Amino acid sequence: MNQQKIPVQVSRVKQLSPNIKMFEFIAQDTQLSTFSAGSHVTVHMDEAGIRRAYSLISDPQQPQHYRISVLRDEQSKGGSAYMHENVAEGDLLHLSPADNFFPLVHDNTSKHILVAGGIGITPFLSYLYELEQADMEFELHYCFRDGANAAYVDELRERIGNRLHVYDNAQDQHLSVEQLVAQQGKNTHLYVCGPQPLIDAVIESGNALLGKERVHFENFGEVASGGSSFEVHFQRSGFSLEIGEDSSILQAIENDKRIDIECLCRNGVCGTCETTILEGEADHRDHYLDDEERAAQKTMMLCVSRAKGSRLVLDL
Ligand code: FES
């Protein structure tokens, strides 16, 4: 990851819903840079020795401040809990420079369909600035499980009107990805951010009906699938799982359901799923640890990294 750190001050904190807070940062001694829509920054919570990546939700062309939105995960003992409990207006923090693995395709001749699940709405909040500024045709389809995650509905309704389509699962409103994609013309770009099943559904329908080059999801390069299968033993929980060639450790844990794992990017960038290695060596595939940390083999990212050998023991 980029080792540069930008000193910032927290200029505003706003509770958007019971479990989502917005944080605004202003630069301390240098200016913040413009960024491209879909970019994220890493927030360094130095006191706690934690860093986490969050999508920038503010206007990419107005870098007098950066804004992020943080979902508090109830299981969290790390980043999201620290941000919610300890970070207040006036605090000083450091950010890594903005980086983008999920850019908007600047194509005025195409329609752009954005599909967001829960907190996956965040990268699209900066997309909207670019889409509107470039006068591109778009729709935003926003799915969430309960009202608490619907932090942006009112603001979005006001901002983009009937280009917003809301699916509140608690009210039995469900998005049919297949139907949505089937209704689109061939000149559509499809973007998705949210939980893995939603991403998988969009990729499957999108690839089949529009072609791979028109389907976009946060792609951080190397991914978890690919490689030999191996066993992971969860020391504190007292059981093991076999991780298949095409599964990540995170997916295997989620399918098994005995352990709750906090995760955000699912792509080895944010650091949320960092876990202590007790035995074995990881095949690191993340973009979070630096070379020294990788070589130390003390922790690994469960969403993307695999085992070098046939077995890992983790502190879970
Ligand atoms: S969920 Fe972000 S690094 Fe694993």
* Share above pLDDT 70 across residues of the chain, in percent, rounded to a whole number: 94
**What pLDDT digit, counting tens, does each position of 81-112 carry?**
899 999 999 999 999 889 888 999 999 999 99
pLDDT at 222: 42
Closest-lying ligand 1 atom to the alpha carbon of residue 303: 4
Nearest atom, ligand 1, residue 250 CA: 4
What are all long-range contacts of 194-201, with beta carbons under 8 Å and residues at least 24 apart? 194/115, 194/116, 194/117, 194/118, 194/119, 194/120, 194/143, 195/117, 195/118, 195/120, 196/251, 196/254, 196/266, 198/115, 198/117, 198/120, 198/143, 201/177
Q: 42 CA distance to ligand 1 centroid (A)?
A: 12
Backbone angles phi, psi at 131, to 5 degrees: -65, -45
- Residue 223 banded pLDDT, cuts 50, 70, 90: low
Check the CA dihedral 303-80-171-163 and report its sign. negative
Q: What is the pLDDT of residues 31-63, one digit of tens each?
A: 899 999 999 998 988 888 777 889 999 999 999
Q: What is the pTM of this model?
A: 0.78
Ligand 1 pocket mutation, candidates 55, 249, 303, 316, criterion most atoms within 8 A of CB? 303
**Nearest-atom index, ligand 1, CA of 264:** 1
Hey, what domains does the chain have and what are their CATH numbers?
A: 6-95 (2.40.30.10), 111-217 (3.40.50.80), 230-314 (3.10.20.30)
- Report CA(202)–ligand 1 centroid distance (Å): 20
How confident is the model at residue 225, as a pLDDT? 55
Least confident of 93-102, 158-167, 231-240, 261-270: 261-270
Closest C-alpha to 12, from 92, 93, 97, 88? 88
pLDDT at 234: 98
Q: pLDDT by residue (tens digit) across 112-145? A: 999 999 889 999 999 999 999 999 999 999 999 8
How many angstroms does the Cα of residue 251 sit away from the middle of ligand 1? 12
CB of 188 closer than 8 Å to CB of 107:
no
Contact 316, 275 (CB under 8 A): yes
> Which pLDDT score is estimated for 12?
98
Which protein residues are within 6 Å of ligand 1, measured from CB?
Answer: 263-266, 268-273, 286, 288, 301, 303
What is the atom index within ligand 1 of the atom nearest the CA of 270? Answer: 2
Check pLDDT > 90 for residue 280: yes
Give me the amino acid identity at 126: S
pLDDT digits (tens, 9 = 90+) for 156-179: 999 999 999 999 988 899 999 999
* 8 Å CB contact between 113 and 184: yes
